[in-house]
Amino acid sequence: MEKTFREMAEELVGQMTVDELATQLKYDSPAIPRLGIPAYNWWNEVLHGVARAGTATVFPQAIALAAMFDDKFLKEIAETISTEARAKYNAQSADEDRDIYKGLTVWSPNVNIFRDPRWGRGHETYGEDPYLTSRLGVSFIKGLQGDGKYLKTAACAKHFAVHSGPEAIRHSFNAVATKKDMYETYLPAFKAAVQEANVETVMGAYNRTNGEPCCGSKTLLVDILKKEWGFDGHIVSDCWAIRDFHTNHMVTSSAAESAALALKNGCDLNCGNTYLHLMVALQEGLITEDDLRTAAIRLFTTRFKLGLFADDCEYDAIGYEANDTVENRAMAQEAGRKSMVMLKNDGILPLDKSKLKSIGVIGPTADSKIVLEGNYNGTASEYITNLEGIREAVGPDVRIYYSEGCHLYKNRVQELALPNDRISEAKTVARHSDVVILCLGLDSTIEGEEGDTGNSFAAGDKNSLFLPESQQELLKAVVEIGKPTVVVINAGSALDVSYADEHCNAIIDSWYSGGPGGRALADLLFGKCSPSAKLPVTFYYDRNLPDFEDYSMKNRTYRYMEDEALYPFGFGLSYTTFKYDDFTVADAGDGVTCEVTVTNTGSYDADEVVQVYVANNIKEKVANGKNASYEAVIDVNNQPRYSLCGFTRVNLKAGESKKVTVPVAALAFETVLEDGSRATLAGEYTLFIGGQQPDARSAALMKQECLTQSVQRA
């Protein structure tokens, strides 16, 4: 009988000395020549393309991919990324290049919840909703890992688990979250990654959660991840997070104690150098040889699953020519088109270039390559900036005037000792133009990971939701000229663009749009395709935000917020209009199946994102005698207003109707109790279906109400 991967790992690890075992638990594992084991660096990144290892296809940033609301296409993108990872690995390892960012253990996706719009790393996530994040995370992981005999790559769900800023204090911060918030919001995407996608790796977070450092948390790593969910892959620390145990969290007093705490609670692999002290921990009796051997077995099981010691791995034949292909770059462009959200349009879009003699392209993100990349990115072989995409689309018949307008933010102006001197030029450009395309926003030098940005004043987070002051001045100056103005936002998070909403003709959120992002933008601006993306985050007004350090979900995200949004989660305009009819709901096992007829009532062929939300009507159900036993464990005032529970994309030609089916799982009807357990309360539930969430603001912006159906659960 053929041995299992674990049995092969046990046999190989069984031949290692104790000293050799300890060396294999660090991310930069050295070779053991006597056992035929080559060196292996576990650290690689593929958040939206193979990152930090030279040329690769650069897809739009993760938050943009989330805006597609397209789990099937996201899986195809992940399959393409994993092919490129294999192509690069095969070529590099053939040359014995086993350096960082060149392995097959890929530390993506980031399935943390983007609970606060100020968080700098939010653009690495799939947004604020646990259901959307779960569906996209599962698809991305399945695409990365493949369905062959061997893993194509080994995906990693990170950062487990309650982690979303602030960046400045992440190495010492204690995130306090109730069990209800954990099981209702922070944990579902990780559970889906483990139980549905069979993710191979889970990475801990820097912070503490409820007092325990995440990378050594018995509650998270042992009780929940392994015992409750049955995870049997390997666990890796975030980079240098274990060092924080004794230097910042102060829960241990030495590196040896920190290493022991992490290892004893199941952290197999150290990204960092604290596991250099494992032998000291062994000598001090803090760990045993069995602890070392168990972790090594889990790690080598992954290496065997990847076929790294096999001669029949189906992915070994992938050649370097599979990297950065024309087809892959076209896929990135398609992702860009599907991910850009039209937030406003008074009818100016799409632009008719036959009626234009001149276009003014203005702004600090107009000709920026950085805004195409986001962070955790590779290097594209071709970049198409917004300016280049527009120029390419209109050809020689339309005059393009260009001005940077201002620097990205005033701190940079001050550091370089330059005046904000381009506004006059921008005004001149606007006066000479039939229409202005004003490109504003942020980039990864402003929002991102602590230590990776030039944003030292906020460690990668945002202090405000407004555009940087220099850009606000530019926006107002251009508006005062009085020309038709389309605002294009490149950013990875929600911004308060209420001034532009009030004074400009159209707004497109282009995110960090990938290598060919400018070409994708031009496709939308000039009507080659219709915008179809939806917001995966709420766009708030810059007021009354909860304390950044408060991890309670009260007044956060569309499910719990009490204030009106500037643009709601799930919102996004099109060049056409859609009508919903004949909404029916049928039982389907434990869940239900929703059917609705969607008609494209406009003149453009377009995609529509059909969204289903559920409201639990908790107050009525708790008042019902059937649910009396739950009254003591339910706070009726601490419940989601409603939650996304299904979505699908449908393509409709102008005038076409289609019957669309959206399954809703039984999980959607469960209530998370105060102790974190789940129950299905008897009574009536309301299902909503439409092209947006069922709130008044969405209805007003979309000029459309959701259809509703009542569902009884016993």
Residue 44, C-beta contacts closer than 8 angstroms, at least 6 positions apart: 50, 51, 53, 85, 100, 101, 102, 103, 104, 105, 106, 107
CATH of the domain at 643: 2.60.40.10
Digit-coded pLDDT (tens) for 201-211: 999 999 999 99
Residue 565 CB neighbour total at 10 angstroms:
21
Looking at the fold, whether 439 and 337 belong to one and the same domain comes out as yes
> Is residue 544 in some structural domain?
no
Residue 129 has pLDDT above 50, yes or no: yes
Tell which residue, 636, 570, 648, 645, has the closest CA to residue 614.
Answer: 645
User: Which residue range(s) make up the domain with 243?
Assistant: 5-311
Residue 264 resides in a domain: yes
- CB within 8 Å of 362: residues ≥ 6 apart: 402, 403, 404, 405, 426, 429, 430, 436, 437, 438, 439, 474, 478
Clarify whether 238 is annotated catalytic.
yes
Query: Which of 537, 563, 588 is at the close of a domain?
Result: 537
Within-domain flag for 87: yes
**Tens of pLDDT along 341-386?**
999 999 999 999 999 999 999 999 999 999 999 999 999 999 999 9
Cα(616)–Cα(671) distance, rounded to whole angstroms? 8
579 pLDDT tier (thresholds 50, 70, 90): very high
pLDDT of 418 above 60? no
Tens digit of each residue's pLDDT (9 = 90 or more) over 606-664? 999 999 999 998 988 988 888 988 988 999 999 999 999 999 999 999 999 999 999 99
pLDDT above 90 as % of the chain: 94
Q: Which of 573, 492, 496 is nearest to 533 (CA)?
A: 573
How much is the pLDDT for 412?
Answer: 47
Catalytic residue among 84, 200, 238, 523: 238
User: What's the mean pLDDT when you consider all of the chain?
Assistant: 96
- pTM of the complete model beyond 0.85: yes
What is the 3-class SS of 246-309, one letter each residue?
HHCCCCCCCHHHHHHHHHHCCCCEECCCHHHHHHHHHHCCCCCHHHHHHHHHHHHHHHHHCCCC
Same-domain status, 267 and 357: no
Tokens of 507: 């707004």
- Residue 271 within any structural domain of the chain: yes
Last residue of some domain: 507, 537, 567? Answer: 537
Q: Do residues 584 and 461 share a domain?
A: no
One-letter amino acid of 233 = G
The rounded distance, in Å, linking the Cα atoms of 43 and 156 is: 11
The bridge status of strand 671-672 relative to strand 678-679 is antiparallel
Does the residue 194 lie in any domain? yes
Q: Is 323 among the domain residues?
A: no
User: How much is the average pLDDT of 453-462?
Assistant: 73
Which pLDDT does position 452 carry in this prediction? 72
Q: Are residues 300 and 355 in the same domain?
A: no
Phi, psi of 307 (to 5 degrees): 75, 25
Amino acid 680: pLDDT: 95
- Tell whether 560 is covered by a domain: no
CATH of the domain at 492: 3.40.50.1700
Task: Give the mean pLDDT of 420-436.
Answer: 94
44 and 127 share one domain: yes
Cβ-contact 356, 479 below 8 angstroms: no
Q: Is the pLDDT of residue 66 over 90?
A: yes
The predicted-structure confidence for 474-517, as pLDDT tens digits, reads as follows: 999 999 999 999 999 999 999 999 999 999 999 999 999 999 99
* Predicted local confidence at residue 560, as pLDDT: 97
Q: Does the annotation count 352 as an active-site position?
A: no
249 and 371: one domain?
Answer: no
Q: Which tens digit of pLDDT belongs to each residue from 296-323?
A: 999 999 999 999 999 999 999 999 999 9
335/295 same-domain check: no
Q: Would you state the structure tokens that stand for residue 206, as one six-digit string?
A: 């820097």
What is the rounded distance in angstroms from the CA atom of residue 519 to the CA atom of residue 333? 7
**Same domain for 384 and 246?**
no
Residues 509 and 604 reside in one and the same domain: no
Judgement on whether residues 301 and 335 belong to the same structural domain of the protein: no
Does 224 have pLDDT greater than 70? yes
Residue 457 has pLDDT above 70, yes or no: no
pLDDT at 413 over 50: no
Which listed residue (128, 181, 212, 447) is catalytic?
447
What's the pLDDT tens digit per position in 244-278?
999 999 999 999 999 999 999 999 999 999 999 99
- Residue 683 in any domain: the answer is yes
- Provide the token pair at 542: 């810059």
CATH of the domain at 48: 3.20.20.300
- Give the CA angle between residues 433, 437, 441 to the nearest 5°: 145
Same domain assignment for residues 150 and 211: yes
Residues 166 and 219 grouped into a single domain:
yes
Number of separate domains in the chain: 3
Residue 274 CB partners (closer than 8 Å, separation 6+): 240, 242, 243, 245, 255, 258, 259, 262
